[in-house]
């Protein structure tokens, strides 16, 4: 099987790879900013993937190239990898080598060539796709025998400790562990979960992704500040994480916090409840009921967590006004993508209405595509 990553590999290194692997971006049906509060999430993998063609080396050298990164080759030494030392996109795969080595796994060097169609900075986990593709490739090249959750946690460690972004486990667990045709209900405290069938086309529904093209950057400090605010709130409340505040205890807990931390608590507690509501609806065969849950999630991210922006707000209101059952922004926020639940026969009308609203507001034309729940990281050649 020939792939764009294998072609890039041949062009960069003049040979063929030992194998080619792919890891997807993700949507998140509901459960935003709950993962680092040890709460619940409900992602599904996208068909868009990052592919990596890879060949094992035994001399500790690492060569990295990417079609989207101008095909220049970055050369690194495994023994010299250190947090903060690798600039740009190469930090993500380099971080995975580092995390594996730190955990005592016998990895050597490797030549890798990447190609990706996961939109970057769009709240669709392009970074996790890059990390998880690297993790599965190295796992198999060096016969490490890891399972999908273990690879996800090493990828998260790469992002936390090597790249320096204090993300939770949502993105890497989704990219590694999702199953085609399903959403993945995950408890991020216990890292246990279950695959929930999500065959929306069978009931005349579709999930639409609206990438506003407003690029977000989790490394710019705002995400870390929100996480620190949640941790401070948990400390003041005397709980391990905000996950431990039940919805029935919310009003009393708010009174124990300074005003600026109350909205963070409100979002996290109500968002965990929305994930449980979504699961109940899916288990009961009532997927249309997800619509209001999504829109309530957006209001909470906009008004309490304050990670929305004019473009995501407009995408949500325009989609809903055009007949979407519900919509919300996804991911870290400050830009990125909106997910809308739409009757399949209204897809075109909703897309048209959102584009027209963006044009009217003078915003960049959004990139709109249907989300089809797809396979987590796997080998393709
Ligand atoms: C980003 C982070 F990487 C995730 O861990 C998660 O916190 C998400 O923002 C918000 O739900 O994607």
Backbone φ and ψ of 29, nearest 5°: -60, -45
162/48 same-domain check? yes
354 pLDDT higher than 70: yes
Residue 283 buriedness (CB in 10 A; 0-12 / 13-18 / 19+): exposed
> Which residue shows structure tokens 């490797």?
110
Q: Which tokens sit at 35?
A: 């993962």
1 pLDDT higher than 60: no
Q: Please state the atom number of ligand 1 nearest to the C-alpha of residue 36.
A: 7
* Chosen domain end from 195, 218, 236: 195
End-to-end CA separation in angstroms for the chain: 6
155/246 same-domain check? no
98/231 same-domain check? no
CA of 168 to the centre of ligand 1 (A): 6
Q: What mean pLDDT is predicted for residues 227-247?
A: 98
90 pLDDT higher than 90: yes
Q: Is residue 381 part of a domain?
A: no
45/68 same-domain check? yes
213/360 same-domain check? yes
pTM for the model stands at 0.98
What angle in degrees, to the nearest 10, is found between the helix axes of 290-300 and 310-321? 150
Nearest protein CA to atom 2 of ligand 1, as residue: 167
Q: Is residue 210 part of a domain?
A: yes
90/236 same-domain check? no
123 pLDDT higher than 90: yes
- Stated as kind and residue range, the H or E segment containing 277 is helix 262-283
Nearest protein CA to atom 1 of ligand 1, as residue: 332
Q: Which residues contact 270 (CB under 8 A, 6 or more apart)?
A: 247, 250, 296, 300, 304
User: At 185, which CATH number?
Assistant: 3.30.230.10
Residue 271 binned pLDDT confidence (cut-offs 50, 70, 90): very high
118/12 same-domain check? yes
167/212 same-domain check? no
Q: Is residue 379 part of a domain?
A: no
Q: Is residue 380 part of a domain?
A: no
Q: Is residue 160 part of a domain?
A: yes
171 part of the active site:
yes
Q: In the Cβ-directed half-sphere of 316, how many Cα atoms lie within 13 Å?
A: 27
Share of the chain above pLDDT 90, in %: 97
Looking at residue 81, what is its pLDDT? 98
State which of 26, 119, 168 you would mutate to test the pocket of ligand 1, scoring each by most atoms of that ligand within 8 A of its C-beta: 168
Q: What mean pLDDT is predicted for residues 237-263?
A: 98
Q: Is residue 377 part of a domain?
A: no
91/205 same-domain check? no
Q: 90 in the Ramachandran plot: left (φ > 0), alpha (ψ -120 to 50) or beta?
A: alpha
What is the domain range of residue 348?
A: 199-371
Q: What mean pLDDT is predicted for residues 231-237?
A: 98
Cross-strand partners of 51: 22, 115
* Chosen domain end from 147, 178, 195: 195
CA atoms 234, 239, 240, 242: torsion sign: negative
303/211 same-domain check? yes
Q: Which tens digit of pLDDT belongs to each residue from 25-35? A: 999 999 999 99
Write down the mean pLDDT value for the chain.
Answer: 97
52/108 same-domain check? yes
Number of structural domains the chain divides into: 2
84/186 same-domain check? yes
User: At 295, which CATH number?
Assistant: 3.30.70.890
Q: Is residue 214 part of a domain?
A: yes
Q: Which tokens sit at 12?
A: 């960069």
Q: Please state the atom number of ligand 1 nearest to the C-alpha of residue 169.
A: 5
What is the ipTM for the molecules in this complex? 0.99
C-alpha 355/C-alpha 323 separation (Å) is 14
Q: Is residue 257 part of a domain?
A: yes
Looking at residue 2, what is its pLDDT? 58
Greatest distance between any 2 Cα atoms in the chain: 65
Looking at residue 3, what is its pLDDT? 79
CA 93 to chain centre: 16
Q: Which tens digit of pLDDT belongs to each residue from 169-223? A: 999 999 999 999 999 999 999 999 999 999 999 999 999 999 999 998 776 799 9
Long-range contacts of 229-237 (CB under 8 A, 24+ apart): 229/260, 229/261, 229/264, 230/33, 230/36, 230/37, 230/264, 230/265, 230/268, 232/261, 233/257, 233/261, 233/264, 233/265, 234/37, 236/261, 237/265
C-alpha 165/C-alpha 218 separation (Å) is 7
C-alpha 343/C-alpha 61 separation (Å) is 51
Q: Quick check: 329 and 301 in contact, CB under 8 A?
A: yes
Strands 110-116 vs 61-66: parallel, antiparallel or unpaired: parallel
Nearest protein CA to atom 3 of ligand 1, as residue: 167
71 pLDDT higher than 90: no
* Chosen domain end from 145, 162, 195: 195
């Amino acid at each position: 099987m020939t792939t764009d990553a294998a072609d890039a590999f041949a062009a960069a290194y003049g040979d063929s790879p030992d194998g080619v692997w792919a890891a997807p971006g993700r949507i998140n049906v509901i459960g935003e900013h709950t993962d680092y509060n040890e709460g619940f999430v409900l992602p599904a993998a996208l068909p868009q993937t990052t592919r990596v063609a890879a060949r094992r080396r035994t001399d500790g050298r690492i060569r990295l190239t990417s079609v989207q990164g101008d095909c220049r080759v970055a050369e690194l030494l495994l023994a010299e990898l250190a947090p903060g030392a690798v600039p740009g996109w190469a930090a993500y795969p380099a971080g995975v080598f580092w995390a594996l080595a730190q955990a005592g796994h016998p990895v050597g060097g490797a030549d890798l060539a990447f190609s990706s169609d996961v939109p970057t900075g769009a709240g669709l986990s392009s970074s996790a796709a890059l990390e998880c593709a690297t993790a599965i490739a190295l796992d198999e090249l060096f016969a490490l025998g890891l399972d999908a959750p273990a690879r996800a946690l090493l990828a998260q460690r790469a992002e936390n400790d090597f790249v320096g972004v204090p993300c939770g486990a949502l993105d890497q667990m989704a990219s590694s562990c999702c199953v085609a045709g399903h959403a993945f209900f995950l408890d991020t405290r216990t890292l246990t979960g279950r695959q929930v069938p999500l065959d929306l086309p069978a009931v005349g529904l579709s999930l639409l992704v609206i990438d506003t093209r407003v690029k977000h950057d989790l490394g710019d400090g705002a995400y870390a500040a929100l996480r620190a605010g949640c941790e401070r709130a948990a400390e003041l409340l005397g709980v391990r994480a905000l996950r431990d505040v039940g919805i029935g205890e919310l009003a009393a807990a708010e009174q124990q916090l300074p005003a600026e931390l109350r909205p963070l608590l409100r979002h996290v507690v109500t968002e965990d409840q929305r994930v449980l509501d979504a699961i109940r609806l899916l288990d009961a065969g009532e997927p249309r009921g997800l619509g209001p849950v999504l829109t309530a999630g957006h209001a909470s991210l906009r008004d309490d967590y304050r990670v929305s922006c004019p473009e995501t707000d407009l995408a949500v209101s325009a989609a809903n006004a055009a007949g979407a059952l519900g919509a919300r922004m996804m991911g870290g926020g400050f830009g990125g993508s909106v997910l809308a639940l739409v009757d399949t026969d209204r897809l075109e009308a909703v897309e048209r209405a959102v584009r027209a609203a963006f044009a009217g507001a003078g915003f960049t034309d959004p990139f709109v595509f249907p989300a089809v729940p797809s396979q987590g990281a796997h080998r393709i050649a």
